[in-house]
Structure 1
Amino acid sequence: MDHTGGTPLLRAPAHQVSPRAVPYWRVSAGVGDAVVVVAAAAAWLLVPDVPWWVGLLVALLALVAVAHVVLMPRIRFRVHRWEVGDTAVHTREGWLGQQSRIAPLSRVQTVDSRQGALMRLFHLASITVTTASAAGPITISCLDDEVARQVVSRLTAITAATEGDAT
Structure 2
Amino acid sequence: MRGENGVRLRPPRNTLDERAVAWWRAQWLLTTAVPTVVLAVLGAFLEPARAWLLAAAGAVAAMGLVCTAFFPRWWFRVHRWEVTDEAVYVRTGFFWQEWRIAPMSRIQTVDTVRGPLEQAFRLATVTVTTASAKGAVTIAGLDHRLAADLAERLTLITRGTPGDAT
Normalised-by-shorter TM-score class: 0.7 to 0.9
Q: Which residue of 2 aligns with 1:118?
A: 117
Contact preservation (8 Å) 1:72, 1:95: no
Contact preservation (8 Å) 2:15, 2:81: yes
Contact preservation (8 Å) 1:18, 1:144: yes
Superposition TM-score, scaled by structure 1 size = 0.87
User: Any residues of structure 2 matched to 1:65-104 within 5 Å, and which?
Assistant: 65-94=64-93, 97-104=96-103
Shift in alpha-carbon separation, 1:95–1:32, aligned structure 2, 3 A: farther
Shift in alpha-carbon separation, 1:125–1:11, aligned structure 2, 3 A: same
Task: Provide the C-alpha distance between the structure 1 equivalents of 2:120 and 2:130, rounded to a whole number of angstroms.
Answer: 30
How far off is 1:97 after superposition? 4.0
3-state SS in 1 of match to 2:47: coil
3-state SS in 2 of match to 1:159: helix
User: Any residues of structure 2 matched to 1:44-59 within 5 Å, and which?
Assistant: 44-50=43-49, 52-59=51-58
The CA deviation string for residues 48-81 of structure 1, in whole angstroms up to 9 with x for no partner, is 3116344333222111011011111101111111
Question: Which amino acid counterpart does residue 107 of structure 1 have in structure 2?
Answer: R
Q: Which residue of 1 aligns with 2:4?
A: none
Give the paired residue count: 160
Superposition TM-score, scaled by structure 2 size = 0.87
Runs of 4+ in 1 over 4 A off after TM superposition: none
Q: CA RMSD, aligned part only?
A: 2.0
Task: Provide the C-alpha distance between the structure 2 equivalents of 1:97 and 1:61, rounded to a whole number of angstroms.
Answer: 25
Task: Provide the C-alpha distance between the structure 2 equivalents of 1:53 and 1:95, rounded to a whole number of angstroms.
Answer: 35
Which shows bigger deviation, 130-139 or 67-76? 67-76
Q: Which residue of 1 aligns with 2:143?
A: 144
How far off is 1:84 after superposition? 0.7
Which shows bigger deviation, 21-30 or 45-54? 45-54
Which shows bigger deviation, 105-114 or 57-66? 57-66
Task: Provide the C-alpha distance between the structure 1 equivalents of 2:94 and 2:36, rounded to a whole number of angstroms.
Answer: 22
Question: Which amino acid counterpart does residue 14 of structure 1 have in structure 2?
Answer: R
How far off is 1:154 after superposition? 1.1
Q: Which residue of 2 aligns with 1:105?
A: 104
Contact preservation (8 Å) 2:14, 2:81: yes
Q: Which residue of 2 aligns with 1:5?
A: none
How far off is 1:10 after superposition? 4.5
Structure 1: state its 5+ residue gaps.
2-8
Task: Provide the C-alpha distance between the structure 2 equivalents of 1:73 and 1:81, rounded to a whole number of angstroms.
Answer: 14
The CA deviation string for residues 92-123 of structure 1, in whole angstroms up to 9 with x for no partner, is 12366432211111100000001122211211
